[in-house]
Chain A
Amino acid sequence: DAGVTQTPRHEVAEKGQTIILKCEPVSGHNDLFWYRQTKIQGLELLSYFRSKSLMEDGGAFKDRFKAEMLNSSFSTLKIQPTEPKDSAVYLCASSLEAGGGQNTLYFGAGTRLSVL
């Protein structure tokens, strides 16, 4: 199965640490998204790449969050330094933009981050 793969599944960090989350999109997909999910805020967009170019960087998340996509099959999300309020599930999704029409996002299983 060549779905979206995220690692690690769980991460526990101390306040002030640097953590890096990883994502492998579906092969051939040209759009990649990072979302953060909490019960209160729901799904919040962190970053959006099209063909490895950063198209949107989620405004409010700029200062401590940095997403990169060095090649079409791998992306990272770095949080530096972590704060307790960053505790959430981080979801990576990919899609194939074929021009107009529906775009189905395929999500990974997510990384559950707990910051102590």
Chain B
Amino acid sequence: GQGVEQPDNLMSVEGTFARVNCTYSTSGFNGLSWYQQREGHAPVFLSYVVLDGLKDSGHFSTFLSRSNGYSYLLLTELQIKDSASYLCAVRMPNYNVLYFGSGTKLTVEP
């Protein structure tokens, strides 16, 4: 909803990296968050970006380009336990509302 798009699935290999893409075309923008959701569990906050560029947080890094309506979550040195769905969410101005994409299911193979 609200024009937040993510690919449905992504596969990668243990020890390598994975880039989860998110594009948005919302009526407003006041930051973008990433959440991890394991099967059968609630989403858990990972990262928040509001300025353009790369934010390096170790295992998880996030990139934002506001002019292109684009963000990605980069996971490095993948582990099997990184297999989960990754949700991006755009925060709207004025209120605290987050509009989520439908999530990308990442599968990390041995």
Q: A residues bordering B, Cβ < 8 Å?
A: 31, 33, 35, 40-45, 48, 50, 55-56, 91, 95, 97, 101-110
For residue A4, give the distance in angstroms from its CB to the closest CB of chain B. Answer: 8
Give the docked Cα–Cα distance between A101 and B93 (Å).
11
Q: Whose C-beta in chain A lies nearest to the C-beta of B43?
A: A107
For residue A100, give the distance in angstroms from its CB to the closest CB of chain B. Answer: 9
Q: Which of B41, B44, B87, B95 has the most CB of A within 10 A?
A: B95
B42, A91: Cβ atoms closer than 8 Å: yes
Q: Which of these, A41, A101, A103, contacts B102 with CB under 8 Å?
A: A41
32-52 of chain B: CB within 8 A of chain A: 33, 35, 41-45, 48, 50
Judged by a CB distance under 8 angstroms, whether B97 is at the interface is yes
Chain A residues touching B, majority SS: strand
B95, A102: Cβ atoms closer than 8 Å: no
Give the docked Cα–Cα distance between A101 and B41 (Å).
26
Q: Which residues of A sit under 8 angstroms from B103, Cβ to Cβ?
A: 42-43
